[in-house]
Amino acid sequence: MKYTALILISTLMIMSAVPVCAAAGQSTTEARITRFITEIYANGNDVRVKLNSIPEQFREKVKVKNVNFAKVPDANGDGVCAVEIESAPGKVRTLQVPFKVFTKRQLFMLKQAGQKGDIISKKDIYVRETYMNGKGTDYPPSEEDVVGKALKRDVPANTVVTGQMLESRVVVKRGDIVTIIAESNRLVVQAKGRTVEKGSIGETIRVKNISSGKELMAKVINSSTVKVEF
């Protein structure tokens, strides 16, 4: 496990160090292509572009007639630009330039080693910014998606937090006595209930009304309250 974590951290450090979009050393044409690609993103400052294959013609001064997408960036950030250049007076040639887009992401890291079942608090994590290709859907997008969650397994310090290692904290267990709240625009009713299954905050679970014996579906609000939603 430690070996895997070290590999992942090393990979992220390498990605952060790679100048995927270095203005210095770029030709005017390369810079124009890069600007064209970043303009489709809402925040171009959080995007880096790597041109995978640069035609020799771009090393010299060429007249660019038009830049367009032959393939828009996909979920992995891969795309192709079609660049029309004037190859000779009155003659236009189209060159294809494959590229990869990297977007800035915040990764949440554990300061200390954690054990299965530990609840993560704000003080347990720190943030590292890096550029990644693809959507990175396995990485929690915000602090709220990490804090308050429980670890599914033991993890070493300085581990990158992923969704696969987290689970919602169980706040009510099966058989717990809770307050059932049912409300409408004009009426609020409360009753005592017994949980039929365990649940985390925000989850909908089965609860039995102690007085009526009727089983209801209710959302867990906290460790002592559930709410019936109409």
The structural domains of the chain, ordered by start, are 2-102 (no CATH), 104-167 (3.90.1210.10), 171-228 (2.30.30.760)
Would you state the pLDDT for residue 229?
Answer: 81
Please determine, for residue 226, whether its predicted confidence score (pLDDT) is greater than 80. yes
As a whole number, mean pLDDT of residues 141-153 equals: 91
pTM for this one?
A: 0.62
Average pLDDT of the residues of the chain: 86
As a whole number, mean pLDDT of residues 63-84 equals: 93
Instruction: Give CA separation, 174 vs 168, 208, 214, in Å.
Output: 16, 11, 16
As a whole number, mean pLDDT of residues 8-16 equals: 41
Would you state the pLDDT for residue 88?
Answer: 83
Would you state the pLDDT for residue 25?
Answer: 58
Would you state the pLDDT for residue 148?
Answer: 87
Please determine, for residue 7, whether its predicted confidence score (pLDDT) is greater than 60. no
Please determine, for residue 6, whether its predicted confidence score (pLDDT) is greater than 80. no
Would you state the pLDDT for residue 2?
Answer: 43
Position 138 confidence tier, pLDDT thresholds 50, 70, 90:
confident
Would you state the pLDDT for residue 130?
Answer: 92
Position 11 confidence tier, pLDDT thresholds 50, 70, 90:
very low
Would you state the pLDDT for residue 99?
Answer: 96
As a whole number, mean pLDDT of residues 25-33 equals: 84
Please determine, for residue 4, whether its predicted confidence score (pLDDT) is greater than 80. no
Condensed to tens digits (0 to 9), the pLDDT of residues 106-120 reads: 999 999 999 998 989
Would you state the pLDDT for residue 227?
Answer: 95
Distance CA 171, CA 199 (A): 6
φ/ψ region of 89 (left if φ > 0, alpha if ψ in -120 to 50, else beta) reads: beta
132 vs 125, residue with greater confidence: 125
